[in-house]
Every structure is written in C-alpha cells, then in structure tokens.
C-alpha cells in the first residue's frame, strides 16, 4: 500500500481521506485501499521517534500473538490487517470502525447510555479483556476512548424531559490500542493506566497485574451508565480519598507497604 501523507490532496487510491485522531504517538487516519475495491481502512501512523517506533513494534507483536489465538476476531480485540515502514514511520492498518464510546457520549452532551446498552458494552469489554488475561496479557490502559463502536450510526429519541438524545443503533464494540499491553513475563512499568481509571495498587506503587484492568472496567461501567467520570481528579491523595469515600478505608496491608 502506498499512502500519500498529505491531507491537502483530494482523496484518491490509497490516499488519506481524513484524520480520525491524533496523539503524542502520531495520528490515525482514514484511507482508501484501491487494491481491495476501494475499501475504507484506518491507518495508525507512528512518529519517526525511536521510543514510539519501539512501542509500535511491541504493539504489533501483541496483536500478532492474539491473532494466532483468535484469527477470526471472535474475542472482540481489534485485528491488525497489515503493517509497514514508511520512511521511518511505523504504519499499522486496521478495519475502519465507528466512534469511541467516549466520543459518542461527548457528542451526545454526556448523556449516559441506556441500561441495556451499558450492560452490553460492559459484557463485551469483559469478554475481550478475559481473552487477553487468559493469554497472560494485561491491557493497562482501559478507558472509554479505547472502546470503539463497530458502527456508530444512531437514531434520535425524545426523553421524558422532552430533550432529544442520540441512541446508537448497534452497541457492538471492539477493544483497541494495545500499545501499553504487557505480558506477565515482561517488565512492568511502575505507573500505568490513564489517571481516572488507575487502580489503587498502581497509585500506591505496590506492583500490579491483571486486576488493575478489572478496576478500570468498574470505573468504565459507572461512566457508561451515569455519564460522569467516577474519579475526576489529578492528584494521588485526592484520588485515594475519593476511593475511601466510596469503598471504605484502604486495606491496612496495602497502606503499610506503600511509601
């Protein structure tokens, strides 16, 4: 695949249609694949920086390992279709999906998902994460931004308060962004997860394993159904205090071991 990395060009065969998202690692763009009847794909383009290139190699390795165990995508983890090097930029090719459950909710005025859809999204998330855990992997960055609808088409409904809200037609999702996924035998960074979904053992620097993903899932489930972040903070002590307010005191054995 030849991709012209020039957003100003008119879309053509194997060219960028639009930017889907940007981050510190690089960007994700929508492209046309002329080799495959002009199908639309998502292309993750990694900056030509050594640490990001290495992270991309690790992500490719994780995706390949998971695809060996799940060639059909039954377990709802995004599948890598292709990867290549473009003048030092690592490029990963995926199926084009819809909006993230976060972006859909944001575009919907942070209106929460109906119980039935919140439950269905949570079930699929647990199903995908269990598959990773069974293969000795921890995702370490579970959050609503990393759960994408397969198709985010929607219809409009009127609430009891005569307010119109968007309701997604099909709540089928895929789990994405395995760039931080860590095998059990690999080095475990001290701090993982995006702040609001970070488990107490990570904040307390006690070491972590698969249960840190389970904590993140709990935070996500609350957010899907309530439309607000469970722990809206940027400070460690405040974060722990909020946890204690909801769950009771941090266990003594954990408090004793932390610095």
* Cβ-based burial of 30 (10 A; exposed 0-12, middle 13-18, buried ≥19): middle
Residues in the chain: 259
Annotated active-site residue 14? The verdict is: no
Catalytic residue among 6, 85, 95, 141: 141
Known binder of ligand: residue 51? no
**Separation between Cα atoms, residue 185 and residue 201, nearest integer Å:** 19
**Separation between Cα atoms, residue 212 and residue 143, nearest integer Å:** 12
Long-range CB pairs of 59-65, under 8 A, 24+ apart, other chains included? 59/92, 59/178, 59/179, 59/181, 60/90, 60/92, 62/137, 62/178, 62/181, 62/183, 63/92, 63/178, 65/135
* Cβ-based burial of 185 (10 A; exposed 0-12, middle 13-18, buried ≥19): exposed
Q: Is the dihedral of CA 28, 171, 32, 1 positive or negative?
A: positive
CB 217 within 8 A of CB 198: no
Q: Per the annotation, where are the binding residues?
A: 44
Q: Per the annotation, where are the binding residues for ATP?
A: 44
Active site residue ranges: 141
């Amino acid at each position: 695949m030849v991709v012209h990395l020039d957003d100003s060009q008119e879309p053509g065969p194997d060219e960028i249609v639009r930017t889907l998202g940007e981050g510190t690692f690089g960007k994700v763009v929508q492209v046309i694949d002329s080799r495959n009847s002009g199908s639309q794909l998502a292309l993750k383009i990694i900056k030509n920086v050594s640490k990001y290139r290495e992270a991309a190699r690790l992500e490719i390795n994780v995706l390949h390992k998971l695809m060996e165990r799940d060639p059909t995508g039954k377990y709802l983890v995004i599948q890598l279709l292709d990867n290549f090097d473009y003048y030092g930029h690592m490029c990963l090719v995926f199926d084009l999906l819809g909006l993230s459950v976060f972006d859909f909710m944001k575009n919907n005025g942070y209106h929460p998902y109906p119980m039935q859809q919140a439950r269905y999204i949570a079930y699929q998330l647990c199903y995908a994460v269990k598959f990773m855990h069974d293969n000795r992997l921890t995702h370490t960055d579970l959050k609503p931004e990393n759960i994408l609808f397969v198709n985010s088409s929607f219809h409009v409904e009127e609430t009891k308060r005569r307010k119109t809200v968007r309701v997604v037609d099909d709540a089928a999702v895929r789990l994405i962004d395995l760039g931080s996924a860590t095998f059990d035998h690999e080095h475990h960074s001290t701090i993982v997860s995006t702040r609001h979904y970070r488990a107490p053992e990570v904040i307390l620097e006690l070491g972590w394993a698969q249960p840190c993903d389970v904590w993140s899932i709990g935070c996500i489930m609350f957010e899907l159904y309530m439309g607000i972040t469970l722990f809206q903070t940027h400070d460690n002590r405040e974060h722990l205090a909020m946890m204690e307010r909801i769950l009771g005191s941090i266990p003594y054995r954990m408090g004793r071991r932390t610095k």
